[in-house]
Structure 1
Amino acid sequence: MSYTQDSKEKSREELWHHAISAVTVDRKSSRVLNSEYLETLWNYAWDDVLSHVLDVSKERHRIAEYFDNWAEYSESCYGQKSPKDLRVAYFSGPEPENDLRILLSLGVRIENVWAFEADKDTYSKALEKARENFPYLKIFPGSLGDFFKTNHLTFDIIYLDFTGSLVAKNLRTLSVLHATFDEQALSDLSVLVVNSCEPDATQDNCDFLSAYYYFQPMVECSVYGELPHQEDNKLVSWFSEPASAHGYEPKQLSQMVSKNMRGVYSAFATSYPLYYSNFISPTLRFLRNSSLRKQLFSSDQATHKEAFDRMGDVSSLLSEFIPDSESNDDNIISGDRIFNPDSFPFWNFIDSLQSMGGALGQYWFNEFSKPKDGASVLDAAKFRESLAETLSGYDGLLSDNIKKEIRRVNLAIPDARGGLFCDIPMAHLWLELSLNQLGAPYHSNINNQRRWTYKAKVRQMHLDAFTFDRCRSMYDYLPMVDMYGDVLRDLLPQLIIRCCIDAIGKQIRWPLPNLYYGSNIACINEDIKGADFGELEARVEI
């Protein structure tokens, strides 16, 4: 197999140039917490909104000074980097020199480069090649996942160059992708490059992808066979309502996938890493640490089971229409996961894998359901996607302490009933904040994402370069959750945090609309510079 064909070489050059620029010379624009937008939003909040309901005339200096102090702290969190400061990891393959030569030409030091190769024969070939020209290259004889579990290095850029698809069970590509996030292998501002192969349109693959997309609240246009739209000098993918809103049944969607594997898999190769890094992985970290878990969730396992069961129970509604049907009158609120399925996309996706039949669905259902260190991916999906519902009839999931703190914060919100900013800041935002502060997600700069596709001999490859920002200058600015009520009752820190979650939510609004939903300080039609939803560029053919 040739690793130097023209299309592969072109993609390799483009991705490394983009990735290195994103975390060096373009580091400032790669941030999700963009300082220019946040300053604009801060001034808008005080000058154009709060000044009409509060007397802030004597506080102007203190307000400006407070933001400047936070901005200085934020700058120190991000810092500056040049290519020689970057630590890079990539899959070696039999010819590790192909990527290494480009990295060295762009200023990366060989001492900071790690190559990985799990296959024994390929490792031997790679080692021989390295001995000839690059004896200082570190080639690890194992998988990235194995390395991350025993070594706490973090990388500014990781390139996962898979030879198979993300859904293939035999190649275990998803397990390596999961480990990258679960073991926190990426730096706080980083680029993850994922290259994977478009799968064949088998029944198993089509059912798997249709199960994933049937419950997604917003779906990239390529899934429905639609073309991106032209905006300025680029093609931008647009997003539409879930499949159910279009009247599709799961079988119909599976048939659509079989006729449009290119468009569906292109969207999946982008969507799945975004969802896992923002929702599932941070919740897994939270659940697998007993000290973290008790900060937010109750310790009563029976209560957890009752709440989760009730979310899928529609008997109370059926009893209204079918007199002889049984229902539990004590559980008035129930069935949320059934009646509002796109609020529980990953939980419903995993659940449907068990019933769809086929070896692939059963394999991934078992993998997602398998506990590891006390929690499974399915557990993470249940807890994370139920978070917004916990204060609406399912509060038995929460610890007494977090319920107390949420009430204290709500009392300090000046617009708890609306009327000031674009969105009313509902209580679920503070729950998300407390989970993410300790769960440490990788948030996504969608504007900076780049995607390519090319033909590798007979297989179509889909290449994604994700820019991730852990937004530590917001999360580390907060106290621990027991002090939220004490600190956030002051409007100055409260507005800093609300401006930050506005920026996070706006950036990811289309691919992940449930992340910090309803967090907008400024509406997108208010002509405020930077107050736009992030836009995902269409995949470019090489």
Structure 2
Amino acid sequence: MNAEYSEPQKIIARRQMIESAISTLTEGRTNATLCRRSYVREVRDRLVDRGGYDAEAGGQLTDETINRWEAFYDSVSQVRDAKSLKVAYLCGPNPENDLREFCAAGILPENIWAFESDVKVYTKAVISALSSEFPFVKIVKSGIDTFIDASPVRFYIIYLDFCGPLPSRNAKQKTLLAISRVLARHALNSPGALITNVSLPTESGDARGRALIAKLVACYLYPKDFIESEEGTTPEGPIAQGYDFSEWLNIVESELDEYYGQFITRLLMDHAGFISPYNRFPKQSSVFSNFFKKMTGDESKALVAAAFHFSESEEFGGGDVIVDAGEYPILWTFAALNKKINAQDCNYPQWVNLDPEFAKFADQFLSQLRTDGDKEALINNTCELTFSMLAEQNGGAFLAPNLAEMVNSHRFQDYYLFCDLVLSHQIVELLFRQVAIPYHVNVETTRRWRYQAKETPMFMDMTILDECRYIYDWMPTADMISAGFSNIERQLAYRFALDGVSKHRRWYNSEYFSGTAVIDQFTQPFEAKILRPRTNIE
């Protein structure tokens, strides 16, 4: 057996991960979705039990409509058992090690695809599999991301045991690009489990690589409104705590194992739900014009420049991304890592100094977030779509005529106020996401582990991803939205389901679905979800 697979900590982590993934996607399947099957009914019943005006408004949703929504949910989610789950993984020279664990948990070897791009390793893997008890496994001579580009096969579990860091400064080891392709091609069924296993360089093994990762991690987490604590709570982020960037970098460097683990999870969450769908939506398509006006090059440059504008004035600190970093943390990080934006001579006190080596590392990171490697398009697309959907700010100026008309005629007073107001940007976001099809991370069922592979810290994440079609496909399309929402029962079912989805993003993503709560975030079992602390395997 390969030494790296025989370490007891790795064996324990892999077994727990596989058992947890399969259990979540089978008997625990209704909880694998962000909005469980019973959620809409539970919200209605809680409002009715509460009495008063909330009961009167919520009580308009009848059992008949709830039954219809639950039947629709069943058609989307569907019951699964282990034998019906298709698995993809990176096999290495000894594919039977992972195979035994998958098959012991009930996966059929015929439903397992193994990938290996190195020709010599691939040959060893084929010989090893054929001489094992699993000759039915399919071993493909290809990287999994290359295969996904060529084939529409979808899986319920994708296990990316990279072993290297995320991201890697080795230009040939494109760990992040592989994840980007999985997300962009929607290679994972919904709900499904995306499993990653990455390392953190040690001081003795690669001190410079460790330092580069520390700076990237600090830059990524710095603008977040909330971070994680070891106790499993969500304290305010570095800016709210009063740290400038250099102070925060010192903290991250001194506790890099902890913050690197957070960075991996937050990057996966951000990429699945925000970065990938915003960069996959084709601007050249007529579908795009159903939602947005196509900007000219000058209009795009002006919008991006305004968002990232710096000012040394004490009264005006610059564009929205700079002034309200917590509202746009991903864009803040993109700007901080981009040489063109970062090079402005403004002496901004919270900005990131790009030395040449880190600038190269940052370029690799940004370029691997898009499958075509175009980091400028990454920043421009994300910025354009973000601000185009902020209808309350711009009066729908960047929207297609039909959506602009809806935005300008929208009155939040026309919607019953449960906890938050129904604002027009929420409707625009939902309509966009209905066709862009993002993945959403189920915070409650996601699991994480940390262990040592000899001297190297390893970080394994089992991220449960859900396309949430039980809400997006319940909605009318753009030109039918007003008529659809005039049906109070359909509107309430949608709002109650959205409450369940948005409770997973509360502490982690400020970029979308803000202000969509029906029941407050501290009421059980409707509370805002919090990630479980990473399990440390000694």
Query: TM-score category by the smaller chain?
Result: 0.7 to 0.9
CA distance in 1, matches of 2:295, 2:385: 17
Alpha carbons of 1:217 and 1:104: their partners in 2 closer, same or farther (altered >3 Å)? same
Which of 451, 454, 463 is residue 454 of structure 1 equivalent to? Answer: 451
Aligned in 2, Cα 1:524/1:208: closer, same or farther, shift over 3 Å? closer
Amino acid at match of 1:149: D
Whether the 8 Å contact between 2:89 and 2:115 is mirrored in structure 1 is yes
Equivalent position of 1:342 in the other structure: 326
Partner of 2:259: 264
Q: How many Å apart are 1:124 and its aligned residue? A: 1.6
SS of 1:72 mapped into structure 2: helix
Deviations 1:312-332 (A, max 9, x none): 3356x94979xxxxxxxxxxx
CA 1:218–1:386: 2 relative to 1, 3 Å: farther
Q: Distance in 1 between matches of 2:21 and 2:414?
A: 40
Letter paired with 1:357: D
Asked if 2 retains the 8 angstrom alpha-carbon contact of 1:422 and 1:520, the reply is: yes
Q: Is the 8 A contact 2:388 2:397 kept in 1?
A: no
CA contact (8 A) 1:37 1:530 kept: no
CA displacement, residues 30-50 of structure 1 (integer Å, 9 cap, x when unaligned) = 221112222111334567578
SS at match of 1:195: strand
Deviations 1:46-71 (A, max 9, x none): 675785696898xx6x7221111111
- Cα 1:360–1:121 shift into 2, 3 Å: farther
Contact 2:83 2:108 in 1 (8 A): yes
* Kept after mapping to 1: 8 A contact 2:328/2:511: no
1:495 paired with 2:492, answer yes
Aligned residue for 2:366?
Answer: 368
CA contact (8 A) 2:395 2:408 kept: no
2:193 equivalent in structure 1: 191
The one-letter amino acid paired with 1:114 is W
Other-structure match for 1:215: 223
CA distance in 1, matches of 2:513, 2:146: 33
Report the residue type matching 1:125 in the other structure.
K
1:165 corresponding residue in structure 2: 165
Maintained 8 Å contact 2:167/2:365: no
- 8 Å Cα contact 2:219/2:333 also seen in 1: yes
Residue pair 1:49, 1:421 contacting (<8 A) in 2 also: no
How far 1:366 sits from its partner (Å)?
Answer: 5.8
Q: Distance in 2 between matches of 1:91 and 1:19?
A: 17
Q: 1:495 to 1:314 in 2, by over 3 A?
A: same
1:231 alignment partner in structure 2: none
- SS at 1:240's partner residue? coil
Query: Residues 468 and 360 (structure 1 numbering): CA distance in 2 closer, same or farther, change over 3 Å?
Result: same
Q: For the Cα contact (< 8 Å) 1:409–1:488, is it kept in 2?
A: no
**Does 2:477 align with 1:480?**
yes
Contact 1:412 1:488 in 2 (8 A): no
Distance in 1 (CA, whole Å) between partners of 2:373 and 2:411 is 34
Answer whether contact 1:116 1:142 (CA < 8 A) is retained: yes
Cα distance in 1 for residues equivalent to 2:359 and 2:411:
43
Deviation at 1:362, TM superposition (A): 2.8
User: Which string of whole-angstrom CA distances, capped at 9 and with x for unpartnered residues, describes residues 86-132 of structure 1?
Assistant: 10011101110001112112221111110111222221211110121
Alignment coverage as a number of residue pairs: 508
Distance 1:92 1:312 in 2: 44
User: For each residue in 1:134-182, what CA deviation from the matched residue of structure 2 results, as whole angstroms up to 9, or x when unmatched?
Assistant: 3321111111111111111111111111111112132211001111111
Q: CA deviation at 1:18?
A: 0.5
* CA shift for structure 1 position 296: 1.9
Partner of 2:345: none
What is the one-letter code of the residue matched to 1:538?
P
1:284 pairs with 2:279:
yes
Q: Which residue of 2 aligns with 1:328?
A: none
1:105 correspondence with 2:89: no
Say if 1:163 and 1:197, in contact at 8 Å, map to a contact too. Answer: yes
User: Which residue of structure 1 aligns with residue 346 of structure 2?
Assistant: none
**Offset, 1:9:** 0.9
Offset, 1:212: 0.8
State the AA in 2 paired with 1:250: F
Aligned to 1:330: none
User: Which whole-Å CA distance do the structure 2 matches of 1:438 and 1:427 have between them?
Assistant: 18
2:94 equivalent to 1:95: yes
Q: 2:302 aligns with which of 281, 294, 306?
A: 306
**Taking every aligned residue pair, what percent have the same amino acid on both sides?**
26
SS at match of 2:198: strand
Structure 1 unpaired stretches of 5+: 222-226, 229-236, 322-332
Q: Which amino acid aligns with 2:15?
A: E
Q: Distance in 2 between matches of 1:45 and 1:365?
A: 50
Q: Is the 8 A contact 1:280 1:380 kept in 2?
A: no
Quote the Cα distance in structure 2 between the aligned partners of 1:362 and 1:434.
37
Pair 502,534 (structure 1): closer, same or farther in 2 beyond 3 Å: same
Code of the residue aligned with 1:210 in structure 2: it is A
Q: Are 1:297 and 2:292 an aligned pair?
A: yes
SS of corresponding position for 1:341 = coil
